[in-house]
Amino acid sequence: MEQNNKIYITANELAEMLGVSVGHAYKLIRKLNQELEKEGFLVIAGKVPRRYFEKRWYGYSA
């Protein structure tokens, strides 16, 4: 499966994409997952849905 076809982004992928440490990527993922939980979605620790990340990071809606 090609990387862009995956539903979730991991901390390692996020760190590489943004040029930040893996620890900082985990902090970003925790924040995004907290937002999703407040909206009633189920989340997976250490991963964030790719579409949600793109929507929040780049500011466009899908």
8 φ, ψ (degrees, to nearest 5) = -110, 150
48 membership: H or E segment, kind and range: strand 47-49
Place of tokens 């909206």: 39
pTM: 0.82
Q: Which helix (H) or strand (E) holds 9?
A: strand 8-10
Tell me the sheet residues that pair with 10: 47
pLDDT along the chain (62 residues), means of 10: 75 94 97 97 95 81 50
pLDDT at 58: 76
- Token digits of residue 35: 């937002």
pLDDT at 61: 52
